[in-house]
Amino acid sequence: MKKLSLKILLFLLPVVLYLVFVLLVDPFNYFGVSGFISYENKYAVANVENPALFNLIEYSHHPGENITISDSRFAGKDIKLIESQTGLRFSELYIFDGMIKDMISGFWFANSKCKLKNVYLSVNFNNFFVTQRNDLVKSSETIINDPLLYVSNLNVLKASLNCLKRKYTPAGIYTQKSAEERKYLWDNVLSVTEQRYYKNYSYPKEYLVQLKEMKKYCDKNSINLYFVIPPTVVDMQNLIDNNNLKSQKETFVSDLSKITTTYDLDFSNPLTNSRDMFFDPAHLNKEKLSELFSDIVNKKTLKDTSVLRVYEIK
């Protein structure tokens, strides 16, 4: 009997050690009880391994009634600045590389965590299309709802090891990218976007139906829903015309504005014509993005009204 008990203990020991390891490192802050790995290191690793999982867990721990839901283009805003200028506490729920299906699922996920009041849903034309890719929110939610899935997930193991590596490896010295490197990265974003989204574009009427259902739910439950089309540099916008998608883009804006108030910043204007204001063709610098969003929330007239079009249901 003792030998059997010893064998069982020896068999279980690796499992116990692994559970302790995951609990200690906890790369996505699922348990939130260990400070062994700094939040900054977890955030850096998670943004490479699975940013959607990390952010959804964060929102689960700290849900908020005022929220922006987006991919990376509308994320990373200066929340403290926005709160100081609007008087409202805001949360960001973001799904990097997310499609419209992920944004919709993100709304229902946020709604399941608290009573929402103001929702600003970021919708971009190049992620508004039919796709068979897995829903990043639903796959993350499955893990969030089951601790055993979390600890046994290979993504969690990989992130845990990378967190350890980052903790004990001296940070490298950042070097400014050369003009040639910046141009390569810029052109690469344009090329990948065109090939991935515009070469075989298919307008997703089924997601319009889901957005309308979302709006009905919001009206019924006293939730203010807004759509925001974030800015991209003109180089990115030109891909739409180059692929004969101008009419689809116009339909996209029109369809959104028929559902709820829509703020469109993605057209040729002094802002989107300025490369210096963008980190890459799809990402406006965070200071300007935070400023624009604060003005949208406050419903103020922008200093330069040419950078924003507001479509309201009459």
Q: What is the mean pLDDT of the chain?
A: 91
Q: 279: domain CATH number?
A: 3.40.50.1110
Pair 307, 237 in one domain = yes
Q: What percent of the chain has pLDDT over 70?
A: 92
pLDDT-derived band at 3, boundaries 50, 70, 90: low
Q: Over 60: is that where the pLDDT of 70 sits?
A: yes
- Whether the model clears a pTM of 0.85, i.e. scores above it, the answer is yes
Number of domains in the chain: 2
Pair 118, 193 in one domain = yes
**3-state SS string for the chain:** CHHHHHHHHHHHHHHHHHHHHHHHHCCCCCCCCCCCCCHHHHHHHHHHHCHHHHHHHHHHHCCCCEEEEECHHHCCCCHHHHHHHHCCCCEEEECCCCCHHHHHHHHHHHHHHCCCCEEEEECCHHHCCCCCCCCHHHHHHHHHCCHHHHHHCHHHHHHHHHHHHHHHCCCCCCCCCCHHHHHHHHHHHHHHHHHHHHCCCCCCHHHHHHHHHHHHHHHHCCCEEEEEECCCCHHHHHHHHHCCCHHHHHHHHHHHHCCCCEEECCCCCCCCCCHHHEEECCEECHHHHHHHHHHHHHCCCCCCHHHCEEECCC
Pair 93, 33 in one domain = no
Pair 143, 283 in one domain = no
Q: Over 80: is that where the pLDDT of 188 sits?
A: yes
Pair 164, 195 in one domain = no
Pair 200, 225 in one domain = yes
125-145 pLDDT, tens digit per residue, is 999 988 888 899 999 999 999
Pair 157, 262 in one domain = no
2 is a domain residue: no
38 is a domain residue: yes
Pair 296, 257 in one domain = yes
Pair 194, 98 in one domain = yes
Pair 260, 238 in one domain = yes
Q: Containing domain of residue 28, as a range?
A: 11-49+137-169
